[in-house]
Amino acid sequence: MRLRNIAGSREVIADSDFTVKDPEKKKGLWHKEVFGNNNPIHIEIGMGKGRFLMDLATLHPDINYVGIEKYSSVLLRAIQKQEQLLLPNVKFIRMDAEVLCEVFAPDEVDRIYLNFSDPWPKDRHAKRRLPSREFLKRYDQIMKPDGVVEFKTDNKDLFEFALEEIEPAGWTLDAVTRDLHNDPVMNEGNVMTEYEERFSSLGNPIYKYIISRKGK
């Protein structure tokens, strides 16, 4: 998702109380300094306009949510929504997820959501795909031992690639569906993202997996 450049979006982000500036200074301090509680931390990488994250945060006030998005023009939309909702359990970071391990300490994160991640179809860009083994290794470094990654997409090629990355990266497949909306077990309590609503309305099936590091 890339909206046209919106003048002033960087300034709005810099001034907003809902974005965490210099997030690497919060490494190991997210519970104590950012949220002021010990509730679990769930993050969405590539949050887009933040609808999914804020719907979840409304449903689960006892969980802290961090939305990560690399483009200011998109993050701006999430900030504008949060200015209306004022959810105390939501913060945003504008950054590329490649630096995740500089921002979160080991064991600091309980769950990671990847929703409709950019497919990066060229082979030479495979390392940029958010469910790639390179990223799974980063997630491994910041998550609690029982942490899970939940990934949804309508992109079959990206999903097949993601499934093949699980084992080499040391993760375990806990649940999988190739038609989420017609899978009564995995669809229970499903919160739709903006892309999910758009693509499922075109008739595209939604793929989903949940992975963990069993025995870690």
Q: Which residues contact 95 (CB under 8 A, 6 or more apart)?
A: 23, 68, 70, 103
Name beta bridge partners: 210.
150, 175
Least separation, in Å, of the C-beta of 139 and ligand SAM? 12
Check residue 68 for interaction with ligand SAM (CB under 6 A). yes
Among 48, 67, 131, 147, the residue binding ligand SAM under the rule CB under 6 A is: 48
Determine which one of 15, 107, 110, 118 is catalytic. Answer: 118
Check residue 209 for interaction with ligand SAM (CB under 6 A). no
Q: Which residues contact 112 (CB under 8 A, 6 or more apart)?
A: 42, 43, 44, 45, 139, 143, 147, 148, 149, 150
Among 12, 34, 60, 71, the residue binding ligand SAM under the rule CB under 6 A is: 71
Check residue 47 for interaction with ligand SAM (CB under 6 A). yes
Least separation, in Å, of the C-beta of 70 and ligand SAM? 4
Check residue 70 for interaction with ligand SAM (CB under 6 A). yes
Dihedral pair phi/psi, residue 127, rounded to 5°:
-65, -15
Contact (Cβ atoms closer than 8 angstroms) between residue 27 and residue 101: no
Residues 167-206 that bind ligand SAM (CB under 6 A): 193-196
Check residue 139 for interaction with ligand SAM (CB under 6 A). no
Residue with tokens 């913060």: 91
Q: Which is nearer to ligand SAM, 110 or 194 (CB)?
A: 194
N- to C-terminal Cα separation, the chain: 35
Contact (Cβ atoms closer than 8 angstroms) between residue 41 and residue 110: yes
Dihedral pair phi/psi, residue 150, rounded to 5°:
-115, 125
Q: Which is nearer to ligand SAM, 68 or 79 (CB)?
A: 68
- Angle between the N-to-C axes of helices 72-85 and 51-59, in degrees from 0 to 180, rounded to the nearest 10: 30
For the question of residue 17 being annotated catalytic, the response is: no
Least separation, in Å, of the C-beta of 211 and ligand SAM? 18
Give the residue numbers annotated as catalytic, written as ranges.
118
- Which residues contact ligand SAM by CB under 6 A? 1, 45-48, 68-71, 74, 96-98, 115-118, 193-196
